[in-house]
Structure 1
Amino acid sequence: MPSRIHISMSQFLWFAYIVPCFALFSCVSLSLMKDFEKSTRTHCNVTNFLPSISASISEYEPQRFIWRLCFALDSIPRYIIAYLQLNHLLNRHHIEYPEHFALVQIASSTFHFLELTFLLLLTYVSSREIKWIHEYSFISFMICSLAHMLLTVSTDYLWPRIMHIPLNEQEKSVRSKRLTWFTLNIVSISISFYFYYRHVTFCEPYIYSMFCLFEYIIVITNIAYHSVIMNEWDRQGVQIQFLIK
């Protein structure tokens, strides 16, 4: 007889966003503890104190296995969440021009699905295996991530609503948090580019580590941005059901 497993949406979301945080912090910490000199070394051999994410997740064991295992566990939940969130947004009844709103949300979700796909690709094709695929996957991940955030924040603030249905406090909180994390993500990307330019141009001590620090912040703000949907779902009592045969 098949059995059914019920998981609350809140638990499902917590799992989906804690797993990549664990992967990041464990891989960086292990690289600092056991592979410090190799993971912080750069082409110009100046002093650094932090490894890049790419070095932490792809060049040493067990970091590479931890990262890949975590994203193997996390990938399906993230796709499911993206699908459920799209359905949730398409069922809004207080939005003007619903047909156009649906098209915008489908475009935004397409960028989200592509973001998750490119993240998987750069996870399983490391820079030391096929460098150009890893690099293009990273660039595509960043572009799709920013496009998805921009479309979501824009519709949150700019899309007209039916006049007699004002924003409630939960909606105000959600859109404010999204804007905050999106802004921090953009700022972190800009600062990381600045430090990377200084590193490749002048090869100064510690500058590459500052690039790595803001690379971590980019990942953390990306996760935090996506985790804001927990505020949308936590009061709805939604459960996810898995059928096991």
Structure 2
Amino acid sequence: MLSRIHVSMRQFLWFAYILPCFALLSCVSLSLVKDFEKSTHTHCNVSNFLPSISASIGDYEPQRFIWRLCFALDSIPRYIIAYLQLNHVLNRHHIDYPEYYTLVQITNSTFHFLELTFLLLLTYISSNEIRWIHECSFVSFILCSLLHMLLTILIDYFWPRIINISLNEQEKSLRSKRLRWFILNIFSISISLYFYYRHIHFCEPNIYSMFCLFEYIVVITNIGYHSVVMNEWSQQEVQIQFLVI
């Protein structure tokens, strides 16, 4: 027997973006409480007060199971949102040069899908299992994420519009929010790399923990950027239906 579950778009989006935040908070918290010494240990043998995300999600239990379960539940909604967002932007009727616009948006969406795919790879292949795949997936995730965010912002701010159709207040607010999250994300990545360089070359106490702190902020600002779509679709009464056996 089949039954239908109706979920509003807002509930669907809340689930998709709250779940990774819960996963990050719970895994880091559990690592601090039950695996503090091991999760904060580095090759430098100096004191630290925070574990890295990689250590928190891949080295200990139940953290590893929590992280992988959350992203198993979250992955399909995130792909669905990426697909719906592509359809949404391709249906804009105020855009000039529509044939080029379609190509650029499909390219941009490809970066988004790749970002989600590399996130899954680094989630399910930890650094102590196949280190090079985990590291390559992390770098690729960051690059695809930045390219997607940057290209979206450039389109929002600079793509020509049909004459006499100007930006409305909602569009101005949305592109401003995306720009702020993008700047915060770039800033966080830059600071985290600075602390990682100091950690590798000078082995100072607590510097690795500062890298870890900004690593958390990189993840949170990435989620914050993508969650702007909640404001974009807040006025739409879209119902998503799931068939359940």
TM-score (normalised: structure 1): 0.99
For 1:215-238, what per-residue CA distance to the aligned partner results, in whole angstroms no more than 9, with x for missing partners?
A: 000000000000000011110111
Q: 3-state SS of the aligned residue for 1:50?
A: coil
Residue matched to 1:8: 8
Q: Post-superposition shift, 1:165? A: 1.3
CA distance in 2, matches of 1:244, 1:39: 41
Match of 2:17, SS state, is helix
Corresponding residue number in structure 1 for 2:200: 200
- CA offset at residue 162 of structure 1? 1.3
Give me the whole-angstrom Cα distance separating, in 1, the residues matched to 2:108 and 2:238.
Answer: 23
Helix, strand or coil for the counterpart of 1:215?
helix
> Do residues 186 (structure 1) and 186 (structure 2) align?
yes
Q: Does 1:63 align with 2:63?
A: yes
The answer for the alignment partner of 1:243 in structure 2 is 243
Alignment of 1:153-192 (within 5 A): 153-192=153-192
TM superposition shift of 1:3: 2.2
TM-fit CA distance, 1:104: 0.8
Give distance in 2, aligned partners of 1:98 and 1:24: 40
Equivalent positions of 1:1-245 (< 5 A) are 1-245=1-245
Superposition deviation, residue 244 in structure 1 = 2.9
> Aligned equivalents of 2:239 and 2:158: distance in 1?
31
Deviation, 1:243, is: 2.4
Q: Aligned partners of 2:215, 2:4: CA distance in 1, in Å?
A: 41
Structure 2 counterpart SS, 1:105: helix
Runs of 4+ aligned residues of structure 1 deviating over 3 Å after TM superposition are none
d(CA) in 2 for partners of 1:2 and 1:12? 21
Distance 1:61 1:22 in 2: 16
1 CA distance for matches of 2:205 and 2:61?
27
* 3-state secondary structure, aligned to 2:196: helix
SS at match of 1:47: coil
- How many Å separate the matches in 2 of 1:49 and 1:2? 51
Please report the TM-score for the alignment, with normalisation by the length of structure 2. Answer: 0.99
Secondary structure at the residue paired with 1:54? helix
Q: Aligned partner of 2:86: which letter?
A: L
Deviations 1:183-222 (A, max 9, x none): 0000110110000000000000010000000000000000
- Give aligned-pair identity as a percent: 80
Secondary structure in structure 1 of the residue aligned to 2:160: coil
Quick one: distance in 2 between partners of 1:34 and 1:43?
21
Distance 1:171 1:236 in 2: 15
Q: Quick one: distance in 1 between partners of 2:243 and 2:61?
A: 36
Shift of 1:173: 0.7
Counterparts of 1:49 and 1:159, CA distance in 2: 46
Q: Tell me how far apart the structure 1 counterparts of residues 108 and 25 of structure 2 sit (CA, whole Å).
A: 29
Q: How many angstroms apart in 2 are the aligned matches of 1:105 and 1:17?
A: 23
Aligned-residue Cα RMSD (Å) equals: 0.8
The separation in 2 between residues aligned to 1:44 and 1:5, in whole angstroms, is: 53
Structure 1 position 70, deviation (Å): 0.2
Q: List alignment gaps of at least 5 residues for structure 1.
A: none
